[in-house]
Structure 1
Amino acid sequence: MKPRDWINVLKESRPWISLICISDAFFIFMAWLAYPETFGLLVGIMVIFSVVSIVFGMSLVWKRKEKQDKAFYDFLREPSPEHEAHLVEHIGESRKGKVSYLANKLRMLNDQLEDAKLQSIEYEEFIESWVHEIKTPISLATLILENRKEEMSELVHQRLEHVRINISDDVEQILFYARLQASHVDYRLERVSLNLCYEDILLELQALLTEKEVSVISQMEDVPIVSDKKALRFIFTQIFVNAVKYSKEEVESFIWLKTGLDSINNRYYLRISDNGIGVLTSDLPFIFDKGFTGDNLNRSQSTGIGLYLVKKLCDELQIEIEVESEYEKGFAIQLLFPLVEDL
């Protein structure tokens, strides 16, 4: 038993130890009156006996406390009738009513928790099923827009393509949000080419970029990145869509991409910057918060879920995020990837 345990037992045993000390004081006084010639011997025997009794009693209290604690924690982990009866056996029949009430409450809460877990799993499965089902008409719409482009006016085609991209982006947000709520998320880590990833996203968002007249400037070099390709594409898409949405119409808008090695942080980086409306300095610390909308003219209006998911995914993939912005002058986000040997 540790010294701290002795102290705790001593505090719990103060009433009966105090009673022993008071009794000893009384009998010492009586011995002094009745047997003055053997007073010293009697006091010595009495003190030794009391100390031994106290130590022995504290040991018994400690062992009893250990059994009570074990029975209590077993009961908390699993409030079954067996553990309930075992706890009552150690703490006394007088507390049986209280233990039974607590056991019923715990069993009810456990049942509710299991029901909530089951509902959460069913909801997640439904969302994923729905997302995969909705992707079929989205793919069909994409096919029609590609093959029937000459049958539509350029304005109609751009509008429909814009809507398709927005719907597809919303569906991906729902899918990744549902996945991130799961207790365990499986990521497929592999060597990823940032250039190929960028080209796929550029092809997907080309109609949106053309409609908004946003040009993309790439100064990307292939750096050895190991990550989850699907999650990485989602992250890039959210950043691109956010940049396009908050581009300024009165200037020639651009998105600029650059990769390299950050020697200070010893990480590879991808910097994505634009000359859009930017973010207010007061809003910048909150743009990754779920549901944050900020100023109506602010980029953070679109980060209610998009950039929140970006931050969550980056945290899970060990990607650091740095942001810079000057309101009305642009926004930059830098992704810092761990070196391959650090993974």
Structure 2
Amino acid sequence: MKPTDWLNILKESSPWIILLCISDAFFIFLAWVAYPETFRLLVGIMIIFSFSSIVFCMILVWKRQEKQDRAFYDFFREPSWEHESELIKSIGKLHKAKVNYLANKLRRLNDQLDEAKLQTIDYEEFIESWVHEIKAPISLVTLVLENRKEEMSELVYQRFEHARINISDDVEQILFYARLQASHVDYRLERISLSQCCEDALFELQALLDEKEIKVISQMEDVPIVSDKKALQFIFTQIFVNAIKYSNEEIDSFIWLKTGFDSVKNRYYLKISDNGTGVHNSDLPFIFDKGFTGDNPNKKQSTGIGLYLIKKLCNKLQIEIEVDSEYEKGYSIQLLFPIIKDQKTLPIPF
């Protein structure tokens, strides 16, 4: 038993201890008046008896408290009829009505929670199946656009490709959002070429880059990172889509990529910058909040989900994010990757 437990018992028993001390003082006075010859002996016996009684009662209270605690914990873990009756036995039938009321409430809440869990599982399964179903017509549209490109004007092709990329991006957002809500997500950790991963993401967005006439400037060198390739490509795609979406059409737009090593944080980094519309300084602390769109003239284009998903995935993969922006001058986001010699040593939090 901890010293704090004894102190709590003493505090709770203090009224009875004070009453016992007052009674002892009264009987000590009577003994002094009635039996002056044996006064010291009687006082000694009374003090020893009182002290022993206090210690004995405290031990009984401690045992009873332990039993009550076990009954409470069992009841709150599982408010079954059996645990309810055990709790009533331990605290007394005086509290039976209150325990019955609490037990009924908890059982109803547990039933509602179980039902909500089943609905969530059904919803996740529906979303994932829908995403996989919708990918088939998207692939068909991609194939038709590639095969019929020569039959369309450049403008029509760009418009169709723009729409296809936006639909595909929205579908990926839904899939990753559903995955992140799951209780357990498996990540496939492997050695990844950072430059190749960026190139793959940019290749998928090439039509948007051409339409907006955005130039990609790369100062990338391969750095030895370990991560989940699919999740990383999704992160890069969301960053590039934002850079394209919020580009400044009045100037020659660019996306600048740079890799390197941060000796202070002992991490490899990838910095992605643009000269787009940027973000207000007052919005920067909130850009990763779910649904946040900020004070931006292109607010209608934003859902506030992309950056939220980026932050969640980076947390899972232990990637640090640093963001800097100046409104109407540009935006930069830096991803800092942990140094992993063996991918088995990377703990992924779930």
TM-score range, shorter chain: over 0.9
Q: Do the aligned partners of 2:127 and 2:175 also contact (CA within 8 Å) in 1?
A: yes
Matches within 5 A, 1:5-44: 5-44=5-44
Partner of 1:176: 176
List runs of 5+ in structure 2 lacking aligned partners.
none
Equivalence for 2:328: 328
- Residue 2 of structure 1: CA displacement? 2.5
Could you say which residue in structure 2 is the equivalent of 1:149? 149
17-26 or 55-64, which deviates more: 17-26
Q: Kindly provide the amino acid, as one letter, of the partner of residue 174 in structure 1.
A: I
Q: What code does the residue aligned with 1:339 have?
A: I
* AA at the equivalent of 1:131: V
The yes-or-no answer on 1:235 pairing with 2:235 is yes
SS of match in other structure, 1:313: helix
Deviates more, 1:28-37 or 1:207-216: 28-37
More displaced, 95-104 or 205-214? 95-104
Q: Distance in 2 between matches of 1:256 and 1:130?
A: 36
Letter in 1 for 2:103: A
1:103 is aligned to 103
Structure 2 counterparts to residues 263-278 of structure 1, below 5 A: 263-278=263-278
Alpha-carbon separation, structure 2, partners of 1:13 and 1:264 = 57
1:322 partner SS: strand
Whole-angstrom distance in 2 between the partners of 1:74 and 1:33: 55
Is contact 2:216-2:254 (8 Å) kept?
yes
* Preserved CA contact (<8 Å) 1:269 1:334: yes
Structure 1's 178 and 40: CA in aligned 2 closer, same or farther, altered over 3 A?
Answer: same
Quick one: which amino acid aligns to residue 207 of structure 1?
A
Change (3 A) 1:129 1:313: same
Q: Shift of residue 15 of structure 1?
A: 2.6
The two structures have a TM-score, normalised by structure 2, of 0.95
**2:45 counterpart letter in structure 1:** I
CA-to-partner distance for each residue in 1:19-45, whole Å, 9 max, x for gaps?
Answer: 222221221121122111111111111
Q: What CA distance in whole angstroms lies between the structure 2 residues aligned with 1:11 and 1:298? A: 63
Identity rate of aligned residues, in percent? 79
Q: Helix, strand or coil for the counterpart of 1:36? A: coil
The amino acid across from 1:7 in the alignment is L
Residue 166 of structure 1 is matched in structure 2 by: 166
Q: Distance in 2 between matches of 1:316 and 1:226?
A: 13
Q: Which amino acid aligns with 1:34?
A: A
RMSD over aligned Cα atoms: 1.5
Contact 1:72-1:87 within 8 A present in 2 as well: yes
CA deviation string 1:251-298 (max 9, x = no partner):
111111111112221111111111111111111221111111111326
In 2, Cα distance between the equivalents of 1:30 and 1:65?
A: 37
Per the alignment, in what secondary structure is the counterpart of residue 125 of structure 1? helix
Shift of 1:129: 0.6
d(CA) in 1 for partners of 2:324, 2:303: 16
Are positions 1:248 and 2:242 aligned together?
no
In the alignment, the residues of structure 2 paired with residue 21 and residue 298 of structure 1 have an alpha-carbon distance, to the nearest angstrom, of 78
Q: Is the 8 A contact 2:72 2:87 kept in 1?
A: yes
Q: CA deviation at 1:16?
A: 2.2
Name the CA shift for 1:301/1:27 in 2 (closer, same or farther; >3 Å).
Answer: farther
The CA distance in 1 between the partners of 2:303 and 2:336, in whole Å, is: 20
TM-score by length of 1: 0.97
Match of 1:70 in 2: 70
Q: Which amino acid aligns with 1:253?
A: S
Q: Identify which range, 161-170 or 100-109, moves more after superposition.
A: 100-109
**Letter of the 2:22 counterpart:** I
Q: Residue 287 of structure 1 contacts residue 303 of structure 1 at CA under 8 Å; is this kept in 2?
A: no
**CA distance in structure 1 between the aligned counterparts of 2:300 and 2:4, rounded to whole angstroms:** 53
Is the CA contact (8 Å cut-off) linking 1:293 and 1:302 kept in structure 2? yes
- Provide the aligned length of Structure 1 versus Structure 2: 343
1:299–1:188 distance in 2 versus 1, CA, 3 Å: farther
* Contact 1:261–1:267 (CA under 8 A) maintained in structure 2: yes
Native 8 Å contact 2:279 2:296 kept in 1: no
Asked if the contact 1:217/1:256 (under 8 Å) is kept, the reply is yes
Question: Structure 1: which amino acid aligns with 2:239?
Answer: I
2:178 counterpart SS class: helix
CA–CA separation in structure 1 for the residues paired with 2:320 and 2:214: 27
Q: Which runs of 5+ in 1 are unaligned?
A: none
1:218 equivalenced with 2:213 (yes/no)? no
